[in-house]
Amino acid sequence: MKKTEKKRIVQAPFQGGAALPGQVLSVELGEEEEVIWHWTHREDGSSVVTGYEIAKKTDEKSERSEK
């Protein structure tokens, strides 16, 4: 019998205001996964999450996850 992996929903960081076209709202991750958010910075000074990468969790924090 195949063991079923538990999944979890991770909400993207929210910068206020209504959801904009192309904005990521959440991602479903497995137990051994983490998300790296991709930000778009707009001319009006607002920033929104418009993409992401799913990576395997590691014991050590990566340089990207500390930023």
With 0.85 as the threshold, say if the pTM is over it.
no
**pLDDT at residue 61 in the model:** 57
**pLDDT at residue 36 in the model:** 95
pLDDT, tens digit, 9 for 90 and up, residues 12-67 = 987 666 666 677 889 999 999 999 999 988 898 888 888 999 999 886 655 554 44
* pLDDT surpassing 90 at residue 2: no
Whether 66 maps to a domain, the answer reads no
* pLDDT surpassing 90 at residue 10: yes
Number of domains in the chain: 1
Q: Which residue has the tokens 């500390």?
A: 66
Q: Which domain holds residue 39?
A: 21-61
**Beta strand ranges found along 12-64 (DSSP E):** 26-30, 33-41, 47-56
Whether 26 maps to a domain, the answer reads yes
| Alpha-carbon distances of 46 from 2, 11, 21, 40, rounded to whole Å | 45, 18, 13, 8
Whether 55 maps to a domain, the answer reads yes
